Structure 1
Amino acid sequence: MAPVSVPAKVLVVEDNPDVSQLIGMALSAARLDVRSVDDGDRALAAALDWAPDVVLLDLGIPGPDGIEVCRRLRRFSNAYVLILTARAEEVDKLIGLSVGADDYLTKPFSPRELLARVQAMLRRPRELAAPPPSAAGALEIDREAREVRVAGEPVPLTKIEFDLLAALTENARQVHTRDQLRERVWGGSWLADDHAVDVHMSNLRRKLGATGEDGLITTVRGVGYRFVRRDGS
């Protein structure tokens, strides 16, 4: 008998009941396990108790807002976080990405587009190989455990940041275009724009730089990014 696959778990955090119901129906039809809550406190409690694979997080929820919920989620959860927002301001999206969100989707959106984003997120761990831990100077990357350390100290990265670093270090010295990184990390070049790639890369550089390992990722103007080892190779 073939093994029974366990459906991925998606937590929907949305205070508009009509939108929440529409999302729930679309995801359930795709055989995903869906739970819905309508405020920040319930979102954090559900994430802690249920351990979802993906969190769809509206920014304008009551209680702790979406930004604060995302910030707290990152203390205990590795779930992918997709921000849902009616706010068109660029600053809201940038803040969301800076506190640990993996992607954002601006309302109104189609159920098909939402489902495509969720499915792309769920594919990411399987797309990355899990070779033995590798090192580049003081930087150590354990792809199987999805952990990064510098001089033995853990570096907290989001899933997107880890996947970007893994992609860059697998082929050190190679210049990776933004299209290649979108295909590798997001599961499709149409799921993220150049700006999203640059924001996540900036966050990754900042976190590595805070450990003293700055300058490992260089920008090749007009092309993309390259990982540079400390020995210059």
Structure 2
Amino acid sequence: MERILVVDDDPNIVKFVTLNLSEAGYRVAAANDGREALQRLKETPCSLAVVDVMMPYMDGLELTKAIRDEYDIPVLILTAKSHIDDKAEGFKAGTDDYLVKPFEPKELIFRIEALLRRYKTEGEADSIRLGNVSIYPDKYTVEIEDKTYMLPLKEFELLQLLAAHPGQVFSREQLIEQIWGVFYEGDERTVDVHIKRLRTRFSKLTADFTIKTVRGVGYFLEPVL
């Protein structure tokens, strides 16, 4: 199971987060400030960092920048601030997600799971081949008979997910969670729209796969052998 780095100068927050992460099956490395956090990362590989903004010596934004310079792991910022400018500064520093205190433990776990899943997917650099179609997750491109195509991000992620699991039926709810995230507030019809766009796009380019509908359930990709 992954190890999570928890960084906060409030020992009660560290204890609270550590307890909930441990109950969820994660291992935890704890630090009380940014400098200690960087030392922890040198000593112990971690899969994700949960970082408080307001800390002595090195605040959470500085720490996030330092992590970005040396490590390829997601960073989730914790803060009592909710102003949009503070959030903007966090994302400029390189954070992947933002959670405002007080928060529910389940929401923290959901966000951590989503970030780990996203990073795992992005790290899968091997291409996916479907006949003459090659999908390159690391470059976000699709090649068909020596021609390269760039897709809108959500279309690409949807195609990649379906192509990585040929024959597996995904419900609309599962696709929303995997591609748009568990906190997406839009309509599930978004999935239908993106599936229609993929079908329209690739029906003109290849016959090596089709995206099929399971009525009342969802969609799956079927390679044409």
Normalised-by-shorter TM-score class: 0.5 to 0.7
> Is 1:46–2:29 an aligned residue pair?
no
8 Å CA contact 1:13–1:38 kept in 2: the answer is yes
1:192-214 deviations in Å (ceiling 9; x for gaps): 679xxxxxxxxxxxxxxxxxxxx
- After the TM superposition, which segments of 4 or more aligned residues of structure 1 sit over 6 Å from their partners? 179-182
Alpha-carbon distance in 1 for matches of 2:78, 2:120: 25
TM-score (norm 1): 0.58
Identify the residue that residue 101 of structure 2 maps to in structure 1: 107
Letter aligned with residue 127 of structure 2: P
Query: SS of the counterpart of 2:29?
Result: strand
The 5-angstrom pairing of residues 73-222 of structure 1 reads 73-126=67-120, 130-132=125-127, 143=137, 146=138, 167-169=154-156, 183-185=177-179, 187-188=181-182, 190=183
Identity %, equivalent residues: 35
Q: Select which of 7, 22, 27 maps to 1:28.
A: 22
Alpha-carbon distance in 1 for matches of 2:59, 2:139: 29
CA shift, 1:168, in A, is 4.8
Where structure 1 has 5 or more consecutive residues not aligned to the other structure, the ranges are 1-6, 134-140, 149-163, 173-178, 195-222, 227-233
Which protein is bigger by CA-based radius of gyration? 2
Query: SS of the counterpart of 1:12?
Result: strand
RMSD (Å), alpha carbons: 3.6
Matched residues, number: 163
Letter aligned with residue 104 of structure 1: Y
Identify the residue that residue 212 of structure 1 maps to in structure 2: none
